[in-house]
């Protein structure tokens, strides 16, 4: 796993081969963060939530770009231990990993975030309900963004908070926002 930008740019962390996680590719991360850099000022006290954190790759990118706090939710014991190991290596006080089930966490969370990122297993039966859960539990600040990584079989253009869809290779990202001025078109 490699950090593609920011203060940790170029740092590599060896992910054990036994992991079930499917880390977001460097190509997809670079392109996604190029878009996000135009939507978010990461150095303006951004608080982010990384759901289904896996290896912690996205959390690490967010920290590298200057987020004030990144909360990472991961229920797999080995993945959580790896995230703790990486956190210790970089010495970040801004990273808060939590070993928990994402859905239980959402139900009891009372914090709002500038950015919520979710990279669930593409076969997760509850994947299509994630936007409604995020908005229903008021996890985003008014100008916040929710980014959902998903497979090609999921479409969210009809969701009331849909902002835009991006595809980089086989990786799909849909961006949602509580309020926005105009819907943007899909870009591939």
Angle at the Cα of 121 (from 118 to 127), degrees rounded to 5? 65
pLDDT in single tens digits along all 188 residues of the chain = 899 999 999 999 988 888 876 677 888 889 999 999 999 999 899 999 999 999 999 999 999 999 999 999 999 999 999 999 999 999 999 999 999 999 999 999 999 999 999 999 888 889 899 999 999 999 999 999 999 999 888 789 889 999 999 998 888 999 999 975 444 444 55
Long-range contacts of 36-44 (CB under 8 A, 24+ apart): 36/115, 36/145, 36/147, 37/65, 39/145, 39/175, 40/114, 40/115, 40/145, 42/66, 42/67
CB of 135 closer than 8 Å to CB of 148: no
- Please tell me the distance from the alpha carbon of residue 17 to that of residue 178, in angstroms, as a whole number: 38
183 burial type by CB count under 10 A (0-12 exposed, 13-18 middle, 19+ buried): exposed
Note the pTM of the prediction, 2 decimals: 0.91
| Pair 113, 139: CB distance under 8 Å | yes
Q: State the alpha helices, DSSP H only, in 4-144.
A: 26-39, 57-64, 77-90, 102-108, 130-136
52-169: in CATH 3.40.50.150: yes
* Integer Cα distance of 41 and 185 in angstroms: 22
In contact, 16 and 78? CB cutoff 8 Å: yes
For 160, residues 6+ apart whose C-beta sits below 8 A from its C-beta are: none
Q: Report the pLDDT value the prediction gives residue 184, as an integer from 0 to 100.
A: 47
33-54 burial, b for 16+ CB within 10 Å, e for fewer?
Answer: bebbeeebebeeebbbbbbbbb
187: DSSP letter: B
CA distance 172 to 49: 19
């Amino acid at each position: 796993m490699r950090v593609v930008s920011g203060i940790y740019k170029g740092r590599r962390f060896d992910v054990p081969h036994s992991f079930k996680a499917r880390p977001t590719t460097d190509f997809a991360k670079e392109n996604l963060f190029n878009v996000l850099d135009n939507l978010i000022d990461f150095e303006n006290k951004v608080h982010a939530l990384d759901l289904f954190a896996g290896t912690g790759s996205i959390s690490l990118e967010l920290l590298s770009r200057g987020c004030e706090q990144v909360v990472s939710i991961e229920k797999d014991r080995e993945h959580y231990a790896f995230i703790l190991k990486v956190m210790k290596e970089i010495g970040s006080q801004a990273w808060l990993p939590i070993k928990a089930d994402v859905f239980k966490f959402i139900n009891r969370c009372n914090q709002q975030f500038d950015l919520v990122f979710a990279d669930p297993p593409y076969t997760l039966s509850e994947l299509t309900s994630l936007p409604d859960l995020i908005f229903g539990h008021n996890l985003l600040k008014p100008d916040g963004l929710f980014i959902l990584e998903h497979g090609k079989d999921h479409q969210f253009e009809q969701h009331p908070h849909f902002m835009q869809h991006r595809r980089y290779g086989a990786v799909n990202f849909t961006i949602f926002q509580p309020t926005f001025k105009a819907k943007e078109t899909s870009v591939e």
